Amino acid sequence: MDFSRHVHILLAVLLGAAVGVGLYTFVYAKGASYMTDNPGACANCHVMDAHYGAWLKSSHGRVAVCNDCHTPAGFVGKYSVKATNGFWHSFAFTSGWFPDQIQITERNLKVTEGACRKCHSDMVHAIQLTSDDDSFSCIRCHRSVGHLE
Amino acid sequence: NIAQRKQEAQSPFYRVVELNDSIEDPEIWGKNFPMQYDGYVRTVDQKRTRYGGSEAVPRTPDQADPRSIVAQSRLEQDPRLRTMWAGYAFAVDFREERGHAFMLEDQTYTKRQEVAKQPGTCMHCHASVYVPYKKLGDGDLIKGFEKMNQLPYKEARKLVSHPVACIDCHDPSTMQLRVTRPGFMEGIRALKASQGVADYDVNKMASRQEMRAFVCGQCHVEYYFKGPEKRLVYPWANGLRADQILAYYEETGFKDWTHAESGAPALKAQHPEFEMWNQGIHGRSGVACADCHMPYQREGALKISDHHVQSPLLNINRACQTCHKWSEEELKTRAETNQERTLSLRNTAMDALIQLIGDIKAAKAGGKTDQQLEQARNFQRRAQFLLDFVEAENSSGFHAPQEAVRVLGESINYSRLGQVALRDGKSVAGTD
Amino acid sequence: NIAQRKQEAQSPFYRVVELNDSIEDPEIWGKNFPMQYDGYVRTVDQKRTRYGGSEAVPRTPDQADPRSIVAQSRLEQDPRLRTMWAGYAFAVDFREERGHAFMLEDQTYTKRQEVAKQPGTCMHCHASVYVPYKKLGDGDLIKGFEKMNQLPYKEARKLVSHPVACIDCHDPSTMQLRVTRPGFMEGIRALKASQGVADYDVNKMASRQEMRAFVCGQCHVEYYFKGPEKRLVYPWANGLRADQILAYYEETGFKDWTHAESGAPALKAQHPEFEMWNQGIHGRSGVACADCHMPYQREGALKISDHHVQSPLLNINRACQTCHKWSEEELKTRAETNQERTLSLRNTAMDALIQLIGDIKAAKAGGKTDQQLEQARNFQRRAQFLLDFVEAENSSGFHAPQEAVRVLGESINYSRLGQVALRDGKSVAGTD
Ligand SMILES: [Ca+2]
Ligand SMILES: [Ca+2]
């Protein structure tokens, strides 16, 4: 038997199911609102509740919404990140396959770091003078700006 | 799925049975709180971490001891412990501790029971004693405690039936946490008095977050049996630090036994997790035992406390990553780095103590009098207690990394001073 | 107001002068970067913290030493230091260190210069040597370094004019951080080689965040002068831990001097801040020296690095509170708790060492031969280096609380073993 073919079939079935389930989740969990900038859209998922609550209390609760920090600038960038994240969040949420303490991915952390500079470039101009090395992280010191612990 | 989860979120618990203050059996409580009960029964799991957890070691059950699985022997892992405890029951049997499910049978069948007559006091921390105490005291918890303390172990054993159970930590009507152990009520009162707080009543005056550590402090503490009544006492009247507890024993002149090889008036330290945690940065930051050992866990739309009490290193995502954004691997390494440093100095301290004991033994054999040995024996008493305080503390130093190592440093000093005193046959200037 | 801030923000710095690689004077750099320069000159401030900072002690200037203000004497604060360093220049004059502004004059006028002939090597860490090295080496930094090392101090002193200056940490064209000190370039290369990284070139291979610690590691490190060329060497070929550095000295057989009272081949440890920081949790978390000692500071609409390098405890809000949400008072207490624990065991270790030195001295006076004293002296050498490693580290344990105390524990062990060895007149089983 051709093992890899079976794997392919299995994957196709799983993916179909995932898209189906994802779509179901998308509709039922008011997925359309995911496309807006309304933070309530994120909090539609109860697993986002704590982040929503912590965001409300944070220094940015009144100046930046989730998407300001979690999507890159520009229409295409914004919606492609949303699409990728949206799919995986729905899938993870429905399957339950995610850790209790959600960890931000490297990719999304980069997006967020970019977001800080998007708004604060004036302020940080001087400290970026010596190097614009993008591994120099803002949240190393300002971890709690988006979500007060 | 989401529909079910939305539903769950609305009515988290169903009151299936009516609980009251005389229902001991956790299975009955579990009818109302099945998820907590599920966790609770999983404390039978045995899994090792680098320095903690426990290993399931098979054994052949016999007449005296029906257990077919025990935890690994610490005496075999480090035979120096036999020398340290020579003449005391611990030198006969001492194992790595394991989950709560085993506490009653491990106490009942330890070989320590065969070599020493133990009092009913032991029960305080190895069984669900709340209902039995109340029964024995005709409704008065403290009276029941005092009565059970004075029974022989075998008699007391007949009065209890469960390891620590829901009722020992929870009020059945509100499910609020509560302290049910007289030892802790009195110990914390003495401690608070030393800090200028009079008449401290833990169940009235502690905050919810404090209770998330105090319920564990009911048992995970240093203790001794006071007087002929064998009253369980937590030696906290001077404070919780190892040296403050040692000072307490020095003032009261208490000893656990006379060391078989050296003749020193020795002390045994036991599981001072609560005391050490109090010296550490997590304790200081208000991070309670339950935050790490019973972290919140997602059950559908709910968050519940994981009642599978265990090593947090078996559960780093939930136990640590709520607060720390480092990777699981990195967090494990951080904890283990603290543990390694502690254990490396613990080994230096252990060698020093064993050499001191050897020296006193040789001096005794060589005809030195008790008077000539007195000073060295006193150094041994102190060195040994301080070392044992860290040795017996079950986090291998994690709960208070710097303090654990400081205490070991003082222990080393005493052991070596004992050797010097022995050689000088007189007091060493400025150190006594 | 906002208009003004926007203006500032758009062009944060005005290029008033053209900087290049031969401009030493920080005042000229300060024309382009006035805010950083303002901070830089404020390192003349003297203010004590509980265990750090420094105190301005007035003195009457004289021929030999024109300073009218110095820092407090550590020898007066703890006379045991005189015994520890007997026969070495440090026993004559040793003061609390103070701000960068003083580094050149404090080195020039310390009484240690009067009792020992120092080489030009000293300059490496107390002056702006980048331009002088290049000049002396005809454009070759390393050659200039080697040449200056071999000059007598007084000669070398004439070649330099500033304490550490902008050019020592910054590339004038990009303002990027750079390492200009041969000692560090070679030290870190040896360290990386021991970790399997060949040909490490710090200025090409370090990340920006690493550079925020490496520029300080140029000077705040343990060092020795190697061979007749008096080459400055950072003893890191085995690693950065105190015991690894001790092992390095054991292998090379190096000694700083012969102890005047005991005759031991002694070692002096100096300011191993970089090494200790590497063992601590902040170092492990990537928190660099500059994060705490040069925290960001708002100046109008900009934030800049505070070039007033000082104790972070004088500046808790900016130095600690971006990462830690505890109150200033609480953060101070946390740091001081770590420091107190370290200093309490440091005192135990100091007593032990002083007693060992006293014992060897007495044995020598009593006619014991060098051979009979050898073992005790070797114990002293080790005990003393480990104690001094913590003693000389200027954070009083804060940079690596558990490690500092572990090292002290090992020191105590060696001191007391020395006393035992002396009494036995022979080797102690299993400890050598
Ligand atoms: Ca265990
Ligand atoms: Ca200072």
- One domain, residues A65 and A95: yes
The widest CA-to-CA distance across chain B, in whole angstroms, is: 83
Alpha-carbon gap, residue C331 to C318, rounded angstroms: 12
B329 touches chain A (CB under 8 A): no
Enter the pTM of the model.
Answer: 0.94
Q: Is the ipTM of this complex over 0.85?
A: yes
Q: What CATH number should be reported for the domain holding residue A115?
A: 1.10.3820.10
The minimal CB distance from C177 to the residues A130, A141, A143 is found for: A130
In C240-365, where do the E strands start and end? 257-258, 265-266, 296-299, 302-305
- One domain, residues A84 and A20: no
Distance C339 CA to ligand 2 centre (A): 14
CB contact under 8 A, A25 and B2: yes
The two tokens of residue C122 are 């000293």
Mutation for testing the B interface, residue in A30, A49, A101 having most B CBs under 10 Å: A101
Which chain C residues are closer than 8 Å to A126 by Cβ?
Answer: 12-13, 302-304
- One domain, residues A46 and A21: no
Give the per-residue pLDDT at C8.
55
| pLDDT 10s digits, B49-108 | 999 999 999 999 999 999 999 999 999 999 999 999 999 999 999 999 999 999 999 999
Residue of C nearest to B343 (CA): C406
Give the per-residue pLDDT at B383.
98
pLDDT class of C10 with cuts at 50, 70, 90: low
Per-residue pLDDT of chain B (432 residues; tens, 9 = 90+): 444 555 455 556 778 899 999 999 999 999 999 999 999 999 999 999 999 999 999 999 999 999 999 999 999 999 999 999 999 999 999 999 999 999 999 999 999 999 999 999 999 999 999 999 999 999 999 999 999 999 999 999 999 999 999 999 999 999 999 999 999 999 999 999 999 999 999 999 999 999 999 999 999 999 999 999 999 999 999 999 999 999 999 999 999 999 999 999 999 999 999 999 999 999 999 999 999 999 999 887 788 999 999 999 999 999 999 999 999 999 999 999 999 999 999 999 999 999 999 999 999 999 999 999 999 999 999 999 999 999 999 999 999 999 999 999 999 999 999 999 999 986 434 343
Alpha-carbon gap, residue A87 to A77, rounded angstroms: 16
Name, in order, each residue with C-beta under 8 angstroms of B329's C-beta and a sequence gap of 6 or more: none
CB C359 within 8 A of CB C419: yes
- One domain, residues A76 and A126: yes
- One domain, residues A90 and A113: yes
Alpha-carbon gap, residue C337 to C353, rounded angstroms: 24
Radius of gyration of chain C (CA): 23
The minimal CB distance from A122 to the residues C9, C176, C291 is found for: C9
Give the per-residue pLDDT at C3.
54
The minimal CB distance from B301 to the residues A28, A46, A101 is found for: A46
Distance C113 CA to ligand 2 centre (A): 21
The 3-state DSSP class for residue C17 equals coil
Asked, for residue A92, whether it belongs to a domain, the answer is yes
Q: Is the pLDDT of residue A131 over 90?
A: no
The shortest C-alpha distance from B248 to chain A (Å) reads 40
pLDDT class of C4 with cuts at 50, 70, 90: low
Asked, for residue A3, whether it belongs to a domain, the answer is yes
- One domain, residues A28 and A51: no
Ligand number nearest CA of C309 is 2
Asked, for residue A147, whether it belongs to a domain, the answer is no
User: Subunits that touch chain B (at least 3 Cβ pairs < 8 angstroms)?
Assistant: A, C
- One domain, residues A63 and A107: yes
Ligand number nearest CA of C96 is 2
Asked, for residue A44, whether it belongs to a domain, the answer is yes
Size of interface A-C (CB pairs under 8 A): 52
Mutation for testing the B interface, residue in A27, A44, A45, A46 having most B CBs under 10 Å: A46
Residue of C nearest to A148 (CA): C325
Give the per-residue pLDDT at C366.
95
- One domain, residues A31 and A59: no
Residue C260's φ and ψ, nearest 5 degrees, are -65, -35
Asked, for residue A146, whether it belongs to a domain, the answer is no
The minimal CB distance from C402 to the residues B284, B405, B424 is found for: B405
Asked, for residue A149, whether it belongs to a domain, the answer is no
- One domain, residues A123 and A53: yes
Residues C339-356 as b or e (16 or more Cβ within 10 Å = b): bbbbbbbbebbbbbbbbb
How many Cβ atoms from other residues are within 10 Å of residue B139's Cβ? Answer: 9
Alpha-carbon gap, residue A136 to A147, rounded angstroms: 20
The minimal CB distance from C208 to the residues A133, A141, A142 is found for: A133
- One domain, residues A52 and A21: no
- One domain, residues A19 and A71: no
Asked, for residue A148, whether it belongs to a domain, the answer is no
Asked, for residue A71, whether it belongs to a domain, the answer is yes
How many distinct structural domains can be found in chain A? 2
CB contact under 8 A, B431 and C345: no
Residue B331 is given by DSSP the state: H
Alpha-carbon gap, residue A27 to C119, rounded angstroms: 79
What's the count of helices (H) and strands (E) in chain C, helices before strands? 22, 8
Ligand number nearest CA of C98 is 2
Q: Find the DSSP H helices in chain A.
A: 3-28, 39-42, 49-57, 66-70, 75-95, 106-124
Q: Is the pLDDT of residue C95 over 80?
A: yes
Alpha-carbon gap, residue C96 to C70, rounded angstroms: 9
Residue of C nearest to B423 (CA): C423
| pLDDT 10s digits, C377-420 | 999 999 999 999 999 999 999 999 999 999 999 999 999 999 99
C281 touches chain B (CB under 8 A): yes
The minimal CB distance from C303 to the residues A124, A131, A143 is found for: A124
Tally of CA atoms within 13 A in the half-sphere of B79 that contains its CB: 0
- One domain, residues A11 and A75: no
For residue A21, the enclosing domain spans 1-35
Q: Find the DSSP H helices in B102-241.
A: 103-109, 112-115, 130-136, 141-150, 153-158, 166-169, 182-194, 202-205, 208-217
The 3-state DSSP class for residue B93 equals coil
CB contact under 8 A, B9 and A94: no
- End-to-end alpha carbon distance in chain B: 70
CB contact under 8 A, B2 and A99: no
Distance B48 CA to ligand 1 centre (A): 8
User: Subunits that touch chain C (at least 3 Cβ pairs < 8 angstroms)?
Assistant: A, B
Residues C135-144 as b or e (16 or more Cβ within 10 Å = b): ebbeeebeeb
Alpha-carbon gap, residue B253 to B411, rounded angstroms: 19
Mutation for testing the B interface, residue in C243, C354, C412 having most B CBs under 10 Å: C412
